[in-house]
Amino acid sequence: MMKVNRRLIPTGIIFLLFAVLLGAALLTGQRSEAAALVSGNGQLSCSQEQFDDYTRNMLLAGEMTLSRQPDSGTLVQQQKMIDAFAALSLRKDKTVIAAGHTDSGEIYTTTCEHEKCTLNEMAQPEHACLKAHWNDCPYVAMQFKEKKYCFLAPASQ
């Protein structure tokens, strides 16, 4: 019969508990990404995959690079903002940057003169929103080469 060292049992239990917690954390992360924000018309997704696609093109799109916008309201407020952006009639051949006000859902946009937005053009929508509301004005989305990119990290609530 095999003899087990009694000192290894607590170590084994701790290792097993760690493995279970790690697995649960990974499953929770996958579930939250699966529930990523998508506009009502399906044209705009706030998934990590979509944001990664933006990061591959961000230096071509503008002089200012944007990160995902954390803590940008509730899921309901975020949904309202991305639906408002997706509903805009944008010229397909233009680069457009948008910021939104989390409480009202109002969207502020700038259509860039050239394909690549200048630093000033990229700052305009946020400045317009802040001028009107003083706070809670995250960057919401961008259209570049006919593709729309979302900057909102889906809220946990």
The residue extents of the domains of the chain are 1-34, 48-150
What number of H helices and E strands is found in the chain? 4, 4
In 88-118, alpha helices (H) = none
The pTM of the full predicted model, rounded to 2 decimals, is 0.76
pLDDT for the residue numbered 73: 92
The residue type of 69 is Q
The identity of residue 141, as a single letter, is A
Residue 8 has pLDDT above 60, yes or no: no
Average pLDDT, integer, range 44-61 = 94
Report whether pLDDT(150) > 50.
Answer: yes
| Nearest partner of 139 among 54, 32, 40, judged by Cα | 54
Per-residue model confidence (pLDDT) at position 143: 97
Lowest mean pLDDT among 34-48, 62-76, 103-117: 34-48
Neighbours of 126 (CB within 10 A): 20
91 phi and psi angles, rounded to 5 deg: -65, 130
